[in-house]
Amino acid sequence: MQNQELSSLRKKIFLTAYPIKAAHIASAFSIVEILYSLYCDGVMHYNVTNLNDPDRDRFILSKGHASLAVYAILNKIGIISDAELSTFCRPGYSLGGEVNINETAGVEATTGSLGHGLSFGVGIALALKKKKSPGKVYVLVGNGEIQEGVMWEAVMTAYKFKLDNLVVILDDNKVQKMGFTRDTMRIDSWNERWAAFGWIVDETDGHNVEQLTAILKKKNNSDCPRIIIANTVKGKGVSIMENNPDWHFKMPYRRELKVFMKELNISEEELEDAKSISPCAL
Amino acid sequence: MQKAYLLALYELAQNDPNVVLLLADSGTSYDELIRSSMPDRVYDFGIGEENMVAAAAGMASAGLIPYVFTAGAFLAYRSMEFIRNDVCLQKMNVKLVGMGTGLGWSTLGPTHHTTEDLSILRAIPGLTILSPCDPAETSACIKLAYQIKGPVYVRIGMGGEKNIYADNPLLELGHFNTLRDGNDISVFASGIILNEVLRASDILQEHNISVKVLDACSIKPPDEACIREEAKSKKMLVAVEEHSVTGGLGSALLETLSSTGVPSKVLRIGINNQFGTGYGTYDEVVKANGLDGQSIAEKILSALESA
């Protein structure tokens, strides 16, 4: 049942992107289970009928280009309609390639320029503490964007301010835009690096919902912020896209499309339907 | 000015529990006032302006009203993208207070001079920009910024500034106060450099040139009606700025006039496509950059002669 829901999310992401022929599909596929765990497996507290509840948990997608995964999950929980989803990147509509707080209900921060989301989340976590709110802040960061120096400013201040209400999930898919992260930046161990900054570190298979949820629900008994290093596969769910840097921002050609359709269980009819959807129906 | 800023902020913080002060190892001795009586209102982010500005936006998204305080250069330049994306793009209620702007850090030189902040920040949609000229106006700006539900940048000096206003000035967005009336030319300026402008106007008076001096504290939005009106009735408009002549107040005058069809000679006096030069006291560095009263008067006289 859960596997089917996860497959449906990937299918929806692909079919939403396909008519536009421009989207970060592999980056979105990398975080499907993480978002499912947060929004659909009881980790985050939120109220779909009161999105402005001051005590809600907040989710921030710091790697804003994986927006389609967020839209798909917001669609699944009933915040974004199917009709709205079909407006993705269409002129005259507001659902864009990067998440935007002003334009999409349920989005807590506008991101797109990498390295901003964690600092923004630190600010929310500080405000929630000041207001004595039980709300927590979950920030999903990419393994590439932590090369931005400002991320480490945020890492230091989260520890300084004892933000035990802040949880970072590192989508460690080992790939970034131009290639493998190991070729771009010499990295030994994320685990040790974050621990050295005082964070509580956990590591998990980022595609195993059961494991993710168990770790995300773990009580934080310290006064330190937490990071969960989620070992993920970029492009997870389509064999030719998995762990292949070429697919950072690419749509399948005719022959590749057959693999996508087969592995995502998409029929010819569904593909034609997706192409024919007119956002004017909204 | 820094003291006036802190006293105004202290008053706001006493009346509104959401008002908080953010620092990047950038406080002054005046902070002690808030630190000692309201320690939970002061957040020192350490030396990391970008993170502080983005965190301010996050705080504002959860209902706080952060006043971010650090050197103008580090605020405007180093954290520019964070001001743009996190604060302004997301319409967050964050107040940015840049200190020692213009040539204020007179002994530290060009890394600390804030002479392009207006060019950079004026271009960002949704950001109100205020540039007070004395302690009383600083206090008024801090309070006006609080009334505005959105991002505001306030450009202040290093401290020890003289009073220009006898009483608390009436400060209105998009309105320039007249500091001195005159018939021949109108000089627009904002910030501490208005002291030099008033000195220049005394010198010009000796040459029988009657100068109207306008306080352009509301840099963005500017007082467009006033600019148009002055352009109609004066033989020359002058903008004096402790800032680059590219993109600052002089540019704002020209932008306004470009849409009015009122041709008017506009003289821009400021820093000409170079970094601020020289070291010394504030007055000495102002002089080294041709912005003392005498130099301003000479530039205006020379422009009037060639007009």
Q: What are phi and psi of B138, to 5 degrees?
A: -60, -45
Asked if residue B221 has a cis previous peptide bond (ω within 30° of 0), the answer is: yes
B63/B16 Cα distance (integer angstroms): 11
Nearest by CB: B59 against A123, A133, A156: A123
Residues of A in contact with B64 (CB under 8 A): 126-127, 130
* CB-count burial class (<10 Å; 0-12, 13-18, 19+) for A106: buried
Residue B261 clears pLDDT 90, i.e. is over it: no
Nearest by CB: B43 against A102, A121, A126: A126
> Which of B131, B143, B1 has its CA nearest to residue B67?
B143
Are B82 and A151 contacting, i.e. CB atoms less than 8 angstroms apart?
no
Q: What is the ipTM of this complex?
A: 0.94
Nearest by CB: B51 against A108, A109, A153: A153
Higher-confidence residue of B94 and A94: namely B94
Nearest by CB: A123 against B50, B56, B91: B56
A167/A137 Cα distance (integer angstroms): 6
Residues of B in contact with A127 (CB under 8 A): 58-59, 61-64
Q: What is the mean pLDDT of chain B?
A: 96
> Exposure pattern of A197-231 as b/e (b: 16+ CB <10 Å)?
ebbbbbbbebbebebbbebbeeeeeeebbbbbbbb
* Residue of chain B whose alpha carbon sits nearest to that of A136: B62
Provide CB contacts within 8 A for B139, sequence distance 6+.
B4, B5, B7, B8, B168
DSSP string across B36-62: HH-GGGEEE--S-HHHHHHHHHHHHHT
Asked if B50's CB is within 8 angstroms of A120's CB, the reply is no
Mean per-residue pLDDT, B105-113? 95
Q: What is the mean pLDDT of chain A?
A: 95
Residues of B in contact with A161 (CB under 8 A): 43
Residue B307 clears pLDDT 90, i.e. is over it: no
Q: Retrieve residue B169's tokens.
A: 């000035």
> Which of B72, B73, B56, B61 has its CA nearest to residue B21?
B56
* CB-count burial class (<10 Å; 0-12, 13-18, 19+) for B138: buried
Q: Retrieve residue B24's tokens.
A: 């990047």
pLDDT in tens, A139-185: 999 999 999 999 999 999 999 999 999 999 999 999 999 999 999 99
Are A170 and A227 contacting, i.e. CB atoms less than 8 angstroms apart?
yes
B160/B178 Cα distance (integer angstroms): 23
Asked if A119's CB is within 8 angstroms of B58's CB, the reply is yes
Domain ranges for chain B: 2-155, 177-306
Q: Is A101 on the interface with B (CB under 8 A)?
A: yes
Mean per-residue pLDDT, A253-273? 95
CATH number of B2-155: 3.40.50.970
Kindly state the helix (H) or strand (E) to which residue A102 belongs, with its residue range.
none
pLDDT in tens, A43-69: 999 999 999 999 999 999 999 999 999
Are A248 and A45 contacting, i.e. CB atoms less than 8 angstroms apart?
no
Asked if A161's CB is within 8 angstroms of B61's CB, the reply is no
Are A109 and A70 contacting, i.e. CB atoms less than 8 angstroms apart?
no
Domain A2-281 is classified in which CATH homologous superfamily? Answer: Thiamin diphosphate (ThDP)-binding fold, Pyr/PP domains (3.40.50.970)
Q: Is A154 on the interface with B (CB under 8 A)?
A: yes
Asked if A123's CB is within 8 angstroms of B57's CB, the reply is yes
Residues of B in contact with A157 (CB under 8 A): 45-46, 48, 51, 55
B2-155 against B177-306: fold identical: yes
pLDDT in tens, B276-297: 999 999 999 999 999 999 999 9
User: What is the pLDDT confidence band of residue B227, given thresholds at 50, 70 and 90?
Assistant: very high
B103/B244 Cα distance (integer angstroms): 11
Distance from CA of B184 to the nearest CA of A (A): 48
> Which of B81, B160, B103, B122 has its CA nearest to residue B289?
B103
Residue A1 clears pLDDT 90, i.e. is over it: no
Provide CB contacts within 8 A for A166, sequence distance 6+.
A121, A122, A125, A136, A137, A139, A158, A225, A226
Asked if B58's CB is within 8 angstroms of A109's CB, the reply is yes
Determine the residue among A119, A122, A145, A155 to mutate to test chain B binding: the one whose Cβ has the most chain B Cβ atoms within 10 Å: A119
What's residue B28's pLDDT? 82
Q: Retrieve residue A17's tokens.
A: 């992107």
Q: Retrieve residue A149's tokens.
A: 């120096």
CATH number of B177-306: 3.40.50.920
What's residue A279's pLDDT? 67
User: What is the pLDDT confidence band of residue B31, given thresholds at 50, 70 and 90?
Assistant: confident
Residues of A in contact with B66 (CB under 8 A): 123
Distance from CA of A269 to the nearest CA of B (A): 40
User: What is the pLDDT confidence band of residue B260, given thresholds at 50, 70 and 90?
Assistant: confident
* Residue of chain A whose alpha carbon sits nearest to that of B82: A116
